[in-house]
Structure 1
Amino acid sequence: MALPDFLVIGVPKAGTTALHAALARHPALFLPTVKEPKFFLSAGPPPARGGPGDAQTYQEHVWRRGDYEALFDPAPEGALRGEATPFYLYDLDAQNRIRRLLPKARLVVLLRNPVDRAHSNWTHLWAAGLEPERDFVRACALEERRRAAGWADFWHYVSLGRYGEQLAHLFGLFSRDQVLLLRYRDLRDSPAETLDRVCAFLGVETGLVDLVPAQNVTPFVADTPVNGVLRAVLRTGGRVGHHFPVPVRRAVRSPLLGALQRQRGGRPTLTPEQRRAVLPYFVDDIARLQELTGLPYDDWLTVGLEPETID
């Protein structure tokens, strides 16, 4: 069977794409070109509906086991196989499926200040033209309504950042020596040392990869009348695009997205008022995370927005 030896399981907008790209350069590791296959997110075909753009994303899931194993067939003999799907930590059913199929897997988790993670998540969907709510705080408040309507996990700005709940479940399934906890800021600020920690954890030679390429950095998108029209068109495409072949979708979407992201400039920053409004969602979970791991995360209660260099 061609199944992975390790997984990067969390969290979205915390450097998992960049980590995937960096580890893929290690000669003793193999990661498929398909990043985020999402195999463990469903026990069969994924849902067909959801929020804007969700149906197209569901079509990208590698949910058949044969297709999933085929991703790892090209791995050189002796190489450790791995993949990165940052929603596995959040989805407790996915954790259970991983435990059943890969009980000895090593699991890498990147954690990020949950307020900054949520804001980066919202900014990503805003820049893609899919997020209809222009106010970040309001978008967080809409989460329960969106969950009830079946919107996909990436819209769960608050719940995705409640790491204490997610890790408590994970530690009930896997021994702690199978789990490596990292912080987004470490990958950003000390890439060589952080990559060495990952390689040592996986049991491969250290010192062979030391650069983390900038990946998936969200562009600046101004809130202008013209962009409002473009975003409305993109959201409409997000709702109906799954009825069309992928080449057709891309041919229509690419110029619209290019026009939306045509401007250059600073990304919208998280204001102190927005932080004060959103932080209470996470205070109790940060305390739980510290108690669970024995590691300090109280800086998340005060630190400002982290510079956006990698995702």
Structure 2
Amino acid sequence: MTDAAIDSSVLTEVVHGVGRLVLNRPRVLNVLDPEMIAAIDTALSAWRDDPAVRLVTIEGAGGRAFCAGGNVRLIRDNVRRGDAAASGAFFAAEYRVNRMIAEYPKPYVALIDGLSMGGGMGLSIHGSHRVVTEHAVMAMPETAIALFPDIGASFFLARLPGRLGLYLALTGARVSPGDAIYAGLATHYVPRASLEALKAALARDGIAALAAHAHPAPESLLARDRAAIDRCFAADDVLEILRALDAEDTDWARRTRETLRQMSPTSLCVTTELLKRGATMSLPDCLATELRLTRGVIRHPDFAEGVRAQVIDKTRDPKWQPARVEDVSRTAVLALFEGS
């Protein structure tokens, strides 16, 4: 070991040429706070030009989660006390790390064992290699709390096969290991029991160890539903998607329609517009758009209400304003993209 831990919530070390990051808040599913983001930034910046570091790995402690996302309760509290600037700084720092990972000049291997949502996706998906175990679960559940898929999701979701990205963005559907490999969200499948051997091999053999330790991916449910997803989510319009689901008239379509009706109507419309724009933008431009979008979205009444219902009180009974997609103003949605 050549590095001491920068912060107890993010453990860092360099062993045999591997810079290791361990998210170390297992009791709260390794949810990101500003100190953790700063520690990751510091470590990656130091290792980027360090010849002693050949590759980087990142994982979550505790076995339950890689990282369950950013601290949305903190963001809500900042807004409620009139300090939206603090939340803006949080997003800016997080997105800066996301971009650093995407542009990192060395192999960056995310070991995803357990839950990976929101900010956890930002710490993994932009890396060169993403390993999932049988316990991995990925999701971008932001529409349930009236946020939107951020951390560069408007870039990577818009580039998934067919209409999978829009489907995952709007529904917040959980992605299995097989789904992750099928969609391209993950690059390798390695069972949990083999992770320690993989880490030792990465230190010994470098990135070639991934292919040597990878197993065939499990079955993908997304592959089974792919044709229906592509049909029903073909339009860049939420109302058209709902109509298509009505016309599909299957158990899957009815469940999906019910899920969409539970999400923030404003967030659904914002997310659809965001992915439409993201399909033609670079990652830096997507991150800049998302940062601008956070300014208005976190001040919208739906955000505070969504975090209350889903995270704080856990009553799962948000009262959205407006309550129906049919009543969302297109003008109001576009105004949010201007940061107003």
Structure showing greater relative contact order (alpha-carbon pairs closer than 8 Å, 6 or more residues apart):
1
TM-score (ref. length: structure 1) = 0.28
User: Under a length normalisation based on structure 2, what TM-score does the superposition of the two structures give?
Assistant: 0.27
Normalized per residue, which structure has more helix? 2
